Amino acid sequence: MDPFRRRLLALAAAVLVAIPGAARAQERSITVASTTSTEQSGLFGRLLPAFTKATGIAVRVVAVGTGQALDIGRRGDADVVLVHDKAAEERFVTEGFAARRQDVMYNDFVIVGPKGDPAGAAGADIREALRRIAAARALFVSRGDKSGTHAAELRYWRDAGVDPASGQGAWYREIGQGMGPALNTASVQNAYLLADRGTWLSFKNRGELAILVEGDRRLFNQYGIMLVSPARHPHVKAAEGQAFIDWLVSPAGQGTVAGYTIEGQQLFFPNARAERS
């Protein structure tokens, strides 16, 4: 190679080093808009390295409430959406922002609250527990962030025949934040809260909080996944995004979901294969 070409190649290499991220731009990668519960529970810390090792595709996660994650998908700012509000997910498909949704995994919601349980909610079903909390005007922290958990909480209040807005600013307090901050707030204020079990199990700052309501079939919490429509947003990385979905619903991905435990307790239960059978 002549000296001029050697100098030209050396200059090009120097430019790649000088421009932040220029070399990384050639990597295969996707953006996944998902819930705070999948991130703050630690699940992605288990899933994503296994997926990247298997495929060579890097994953960037934007962890927000389900409503915000779906809006990110609507704008085309993510390739894949992984959330937990089935009715909202089905609307996303009907609106043409995805061709289909697939079940991936589930866990359940629980009501946590002070061990002293001033409202006497322990052992009741979800509707009766909320009625008792409202009647006692016991402090309740709501995420208030249009997340899947927030949507479920509002549904449970409606089922209980209670309008929590009547206690706004007194016993009912919306914070507009994710599951981790909501748990921290409830712990500090010794308040009741609807939480997903996965984040609760990974949460360390429990203070005087304990699970008081669980096991009601209404507390079932399903997660679904969708590829953002490349017909709607041509820049979507459809091949890489579909590779992530295919891996997650495969035996390898489902096994990784099932294998994630904290202190011997499984946080999420895979059910994608049941959908395909």
What digits encode the pLDDT tens for the residues 77-133? 999 999 999 999 999 999 999 999 999 999 999 999 999 999 999 999 999 999 999
Distance CA 53, CA 152 (A): 35
Structure-token match 């100098």, residue found = 7
How does residue 168 score in pLDDT terms, banded at 50, 70 and 90?
A: confident
Question: How many Å apart are CA 33 and CA 218, to the nearest integer?
Answer: 26
Contact 109, 221 (CB under 8 A): yes
**Whole-angstrom Cα distance, residue 241 to residue 237?**
6
Range name among 9-23, 65-79, 119-133, 244-258 with the lowest pLDDT average: 9-23
- pLDDT value, residue 1: 52
Task: Return residue ranges of the chain for CATH 3.40.190.10.
Answer: 27-106+222-276, 107-219
Q: Is the domain covering 107-219 a CATH 3.90.550.10 domain?
A: no
In this structure, of 21-25, 73-77, 82-86, 219-223, the range with the lowest mean pLDDT score is 21-25
The structure's pTM equals: 0.84
CATH assignment of 27-106+222-276, among 3.40.190.10, 3.30.9.10, 3.90.1300.10, 3.65.10.10 = 3.40.190.10
